[in-house]
Every structure is written in C-alpha cells, then in structure tokens.
Amino acid sequence: MEEKEELIKRTEQLKKYNNEALDAYTNIAQVPDYSPDFFTEVKPFADKVKECADQWKPLAEQWVVDDKPTYFYLKQIEDTHENILISSVTAFQSDTKEKRFREMIQSIDYILSGIEKEIDVNQ
C-alpha cells in the first residue's frame, strides 16, 4: 500500500510540474525577444521534473504489472515519462510548436489523471 501512496504523491507532483511547464510556455516562451537563462530557469526546472519522473516511473510500472489496470500499459508509462522530460525543456523554447506542445501536455495530463482515478476507484 505504501507504494501506491508514493505513486499517487509522485503523480500529483508530476501533474503540478506539467501545469508549470504549460505556464512557462504560455508566459515565457511566447514573449518576443525573451530568452530564459538556462542555468537559473530551464535547468533547475528540468532537473526537479526529471528527479520526480525518475521516481514515478518504476512505481507506475510496478503498479501496471501488479494491478493489471484495464487501460494502462507499460508503453504508456514509458512514453509519459519521456514526454514530461521533453516538455520540461521545450516549454522554455520560443521555437516550440504550440499545437504539438499543448497536445503533449494534454497527453501527459490524461495519463496522470487516469492513473489517479484508477487507483482511487480500486482502493
């Protein structure tokens, strides 16, 4: 049960980071002539996202293996992990394509919210 609680905690944190990435993209990357400082803005954010995502991934994978949820697969966990790492950096890049970025954010949120709901229903 402790692992599920940890998974829920990490999932909630990743959802917050996902929203922060969207905010960063909306508020920073879209400002003309603004270039965020890599070492004070981009790297610290990307590092904390990576740390949380790296802790989340094995918990989520173990949950998929143990609980065999109907609509979640190991590939989705892998893809979500990779996508959140990518979005944590591309959020700060002014040349990021808006449609693709927003779709990635939505995809990440869909999986994370789905995991929360699935665990909540089965507890």
Confidence of residue 1 (pLDDT cuts 50, 70, 90): low
pTM, rounded to two decimals: 0.93
93 φψ region: left (φ > 0), alpha (ψ -120 to 50), beta (else): beta
Please report, for the chain, how many H helices and E strands are present, in that order.
4, 0
The predicted structure's pLDDT at residue 31: 79
- Write the pLDDT tens digit of every residue in 90-110: 999 888 899 999 999 999 999
Which DSSP letter does residue 123 get? -
d(CA 26, CA 38): 17
- Write the pLDDT tens digit of every residue in 61-87: 999 999 999 999 999 999 999 999 999
- Write the pLDDT tens digit of every residue in 42-56: 999 999 999 999 999
The predicted structure's pLDDT at residue 122: 76
Which amino acid makes up residue 118? E
CA–CA–CA angle 6, 14, 82 (5° rounding): 110
